[in-house]
Structure 1
């Protein structure tokens, strides 16, 4: 659709991003957010990764069917893989200038059609103008309400990829987006309301939008990811659809999620066991996770029996410090990242050029961190904040990771917070590690030296009975270890738990190697006053 008006380039500012050139009126009318360049670069690479994996999976299924035919069995001939024609249909539900849609059409191979939708007249006019200027023949504009448009799509007109990037929450768009996406398609979701998702001031609004409450402090940015996934998963389940998160990132002021959606009533049954509530200690920051369902698997690793989960895992007050436990969630309990998907993006990203993709270094950095995150250890913690609670001197990261690794636990960094780590060690073990490091610094050899520990000028003299660290520093935490944990750590009446902070191990070597890599976590400002703008009027 043409604007039917000759373009006078002098009336516009030309914005170049990727392979697209966007004309924006010198009088600002349509929303353009340059800080989201990383989002768009990553999304382009992510859709390419999905398409290559999708084609490979479809080809594998085709070859399997061919092998099953008697003719191929007798001839022992393998059919040559066919080169797919452009087939990908993409919907950008909230398009604004059309920049993202045009980039998808020009930069992603195998794209057949991209629909750039917006409900504002001025936005649709701008989209058509930019489509014409870029000669993007595979991109079309649609003027309509995104929710109504997606809700009314017939089953034979769905999209392989649906991209939701609203101003604020994506919650109102999820039901209709699930109707608009093809089986085994990719949903891309952005939520910019981190004040609700990761803040401590709006638990009632968080629950209203996402069906759960976030952590009041600590790993709130990871909780934000898990809350959005919970909202999408429970919504999808109503339509016999299951989700698989393949890449979930907390970035700057928003979260960005890449999710595969499949119609699978069997997988829907696993939703309860992939959902949890978390008891978050208001004192020491301990998190105790309670799955809402039980799922048993057979020898093949497939779920075959479901039931009720046992709980709760803690009482109303934390057994470590005595402070009140807050109930958070429900939220997604399963993995956040898919290694195969991330590896494919990294491989694609390595082939791109820095001039076209200005955030390529950051994509490498963020995804490298996301890939190495522990998948079975929800929530990270900041060692410096725990140091503040215990009123102790900081423990070098190298020593802390070595101590946890030598105790038989895994450790990883996290993309969501610089200086934070994830571990599958119980919180009481982490606290005991900190206590022993303090005792080591004070050369305390036995429990009889507690008075020295409590009064030392270098240690915990500032802890009073009303503080969270007081009970932690005045009890033997190993007494609360479970029988299984004691056996794992080799603790007996004759053999105490002794932490080794010095001996390198595979865990500490891996983490230390990653820490030495210069990873770009935050995007460099390309222009003056570069950042999020106000919502368009």
Structure 2
């Protein structure tokens, strides 16, 4: 079947809804990832404005070639890579169909990255499941920007704890802020991997949407810079009784024996997690401005990026419905909830993780007092 996306036309052998694992007849294509791809194109536009020397782009698991085709349409020097010969043929045909130049390689991407005389400016990893098997090669052989998608959200957020520990070298916990737990677990693993190659990886745009986490990491060479990024890692201590949480930087966890708010002793420790910013606010604003109306998910992308750019940088978000259930009171409109916190003198913003997610510098008792009467 032929589809149009972002001003290009491609043939796809198999369009599925994201529930598939990409196996079976035909080359996998996920229409549910159009928002991801629209934001990627906007990032490529904004990043070129940031550094006009950036030219080469590797679509590491190209499948239909849609990411590579769209990057080539933006003027990037594109290489598409896949281990599936049918995907290679399809990607090559889709570049030709749009009159675009690009190299298409039938090879394992790790071998390609380690065996080429060329270093790519931008490497895009969009595998099914975890990206971890590919990140060493990417960080060792990319000059400017590594783009990463992870769709294995259950291990990342702690729902499949043992799998998360094995894959990401961290202890994620399944909390009411599980989307952010997953993103910060992913960022921790990526920053630590980059540091092994004396590369500092800084998240300049990140988001969690539906069933995946996506991040764009700008690279800087040097052991000292890498050490600085590692200083942004640490642990979160989460009280299962009152939902209070505390963040502490450092590789050594020193969890409290009891909660400082309610005195409960059911404390979960998660980490090492990335506790720093998930984005460069100015850059995300530029990415939002680079979204154009010909993109199928333009409206959603602009709203998402606006929230990402403006949300507070505290390490975890809260869910208003979860808190109100804890307090035994009905939830109110999110705008009103945020306004009440601000009127009480606290910082508060929406968070992009869900429609009921928000961030604030208030403690949970302070939130309860600011947003309603005690029962």
What is the match of residue 153 of structure 1? 116
Distance 1:416 1:254 in 2: 11
Alignment of 1:295-374 (within 5 A): 312=254, 314-317=256-259, 319-320=261-262, 322-349=264-291, 352-353=292-293, 356-374=294-312
SS of the residue corresponding to residue 220 of structure 2 reads strand
Alignment check: 8 A CA contact 1:163 1:189 kept: yes
Aligned equivalent of 2:135: 174
Cα displacement (A) at 1:19 = 2.6
- 1:273 Cα deviation after fit: 2.4
| Paired position in structure 2 for 1:438 | 373
Distance in structure 2 (CA, Å) of the matches to 1:341 and 1:370: 11
- Counterparts of 1:190-339 in structure 2 under 5 Å? 190-200=149-159, 202-292=160-250, 312=254, 314-317=256-259, 319-320=261-262, 322-339=264-281
Pairing 1:51–2:51 present? no
1:413 Cα offset (Å): 0.3
Q: Contact 1:151/1:180 (CA < 8 Å) preserved in 2?
A: yes
1:16 and 2:4 equivalent? Answer: yes
Paired position in structure 2 for 1:388: 325
Which whole-Å CA distance do the structure 1 matches of 2:163 and 2:69 have between them? 35
Q: Would the alpha carbon gap of residues 103 and 277 (structure 1) be closer, same or farther in structure 2, given more than 3 Å must change?
A: same
Paired residue for 1:103, among 63, 66, 70? 70
Normalised to the residue count of structure 2, the TM-score between the two structures is 0.91
Q: How far 1:198 sits from its partner (Å)?
A: 2.3
8 Å CA contact 2:125–2:147 kept in 1: the answer is: yes
| Cα RMSD (Å) | 2.2
Question: In terms of mean alpha carbon deviation, does 204-213 or 382-391 score higher?
Answer: 382-391
CA distance in 2, matches of 1:243, 1:116: 24
Name the CA distance, whole Å, in 2 between partners of 1:215 and 1:286: 14
CA displacement, residues 108-128 of structure 1 (integer Å, 9 cap, x when unaligned): 14x2x2000000111112122
Quick one: structure 1 residues 426 and 270, their matched pair in 2 at CA, closer, same or farther if it must change by over 3 Å?
Answer: farther
- Alpha-carbon separation, structure 2, partners of 1:127 and 1:96: 7
Structure 2's unaligned 5+ residue stretches are: 15-23
Pick from 99, 117, 123 the counterpart of residue 81 of structure 2.
117
The alpha-carbon deviation at position 403 of structure 1 amounts to 4.3
Q: Deviations over 1:319-361 (max 9, x none)?
A: 4151400111111010011122112112222xx23xx311111
Q: Distance in 2 between matches of 1:380 and 1:223?
A: 9
Contact 2:81/2:88, CA 8 A, preserved across alignment: yes
Structure with more strand by fraction: 2
CA distance in 2, matches of 1:323, 1:390: 19
Cα 1:357–1:406 change in 2 (3 A) is: closer
Task: Name the CA distance, whole Å, in 1 between partners of 2:177 and 2:33.
Answer: 23
Q: Distance in 2 between matches of 1:317 and 1:423?
A: 19
Provide, for residues 355-390 of structure 1, a one-character-per-residue CA deviation record: whole Å limited to 9, x for no partner.
Answer: x31111111110011111102x11111122112122
Greater Rg by CA? 1
| TM-score computed with the length of structure 1 as normaliser | 0.65
Residue 39 of structure 1 is matched in structure 2 by 36
Distance in 2 separating the partners of 1:433 and 1:180: 51
Q: 1:398, 1:132 → 2: CA distance?
A: 49
Matches within 5 A, 1:480-495: none
For residues 330 and 13 of structure 2, what CA distance do their matches in structure 1 show? 56
Structure 1 residue 280: Cα displacement: 1.1
Q: 1:259 & 1:270 partners in 2: Cα distance? A: 15
Aligned residue number for residue 123 of structure 2: 162
> Per the alignment, do residues 208 and 128 of structure 1 end up closer, same or farther by CA in structure 2, a change over 3 Å counting?
same
**Counterparts of 2:255 and 2:83, CA distance in 1:** 48
Partner Cα distance (1:94, 1:399) in 2 = 44
